[in-house]
Amino acid sequence: MASKKAITDKWNSLGEIVQSKILSNVFCSNCTVTTIVDYDVTSSKNDILLKGKCKKCGKDVARLVEWEWFEHDYGQKKQQKIIPKNLQAIGLFVTNLEEMVTFYRDIIGLETNWKKGEPNAEFQTGECKLIMYGRKDFEKMTSQEYGYPKGNNGTMEIAFEMKTYDDVDKEYRRLMDLGVKSIFSPTTMEWGQRTSYVADPEGNLIEIGSFVK
């Protein structure tokens, strides 16, 4: 039989979030689903058994912590993350893919191999790709409807870092000459960045800024 410490360590390896899920899902013959309180961590063969009281009526209750909880690495091993740190892509769901690709390719100046009629577009933007996919197509693919922002989208921005303050002004002026909608003209901020904002044809905000004078 495993030692008390080994059993407690195993229980604690699940972490608080998983533990609270288990603790709040205990069967009581009076109350049906309840939370177990004043519990002891004991073992039953290879499993952990929690013995305590029903939070609602005080009756003795028990909860077996099935081995599956440990199989899934919810506990300490969860720190071995498999999600890489670098953000690989930002995806925009768009209403008019052709118009959006035209804007980002011909006005902003990003490279893409997109051909008319293709359902999604990918731009070469360095480490983090910018991708686009039609909203209607994505709704069909996931069998769901979504809410979309109207007017200028205040949820997110696409930020481009320019080499210098001067480049911010030049790029902003270039975009204005091409008829792009201005949101915020170049301004030097107290945190040392000179920045500006424009909007794409579907109201997504694009930041053009630099931290270098």
Report, in Å, the least distance between residue 40 CB and Zn ion: 18
User: In whole angstroms, what is the distance from residue 14 CA to residue 78 CA?
Assistant: 9
From the list 21-29, 88-96, 147-155, 173-181, the region that binds Zn ion by CB under 5 A is 21-29
> According to CB under 5 A, which residues from 58 to 97 bind Zn ion?
59
44 is a contact residue toward Zn ion (CB under 5 A): no
* 8-state DSSP, 30: T
56 is a contact residue toward Zn ion (CB under 5 A): yes
Structure tokens at 162: 């320019």
- Among 24, 30, 44, 188, indicate the residue that binds Zn ion (CB under 5 A): 30
Nearest to Zn ion of 35, 196 (CB atom): 35
User: In whole angstroms, what is the distance from residue 130 CA to residue 91 CA?
Assistant: 6
Report, in Å, the least distance between residue 37 CB and Zn ion: 11
- By CB under 5 A, the count of residues binding Zn ion is 8
Classified as helix, coil or strand, 211 is coil
From the list 48-56, 98-106, 142-150, 163-171, the region that binds Zn ion by CB under 5 A is 48-56
Q: How many CA atoms lie within 13 A of 149 on its CB side?
A: 14
Strands (E), the chain: 26-28, 32-34, 36-44, 47-54, 60-65, 89-94, 111-112, 120-124, 129-134, 153-161, 181-188, 194-199, 204-210
Q: How many CA atoms lie within 13 A of 124 on its CB side?
A: 5
54 is a contact residue toward Zn ion (CB under 5 A): yes
β-bridge pairing 89-94 and 129-134: parallel
124 is a contact residue toward Zn ion (CB under 5 A): no
Report, in Å, the least distance between residue 31 CB and Zn ion: 3
Nearest to Zn ion of 38, 106 (CB atom): 38
Nearest to Zn ion of 32, 79 (CB atom): 32
Residues of this chain that bind Zn ion (CB under 5 A): 28, 30-31, 34, 54, 56-57, 59
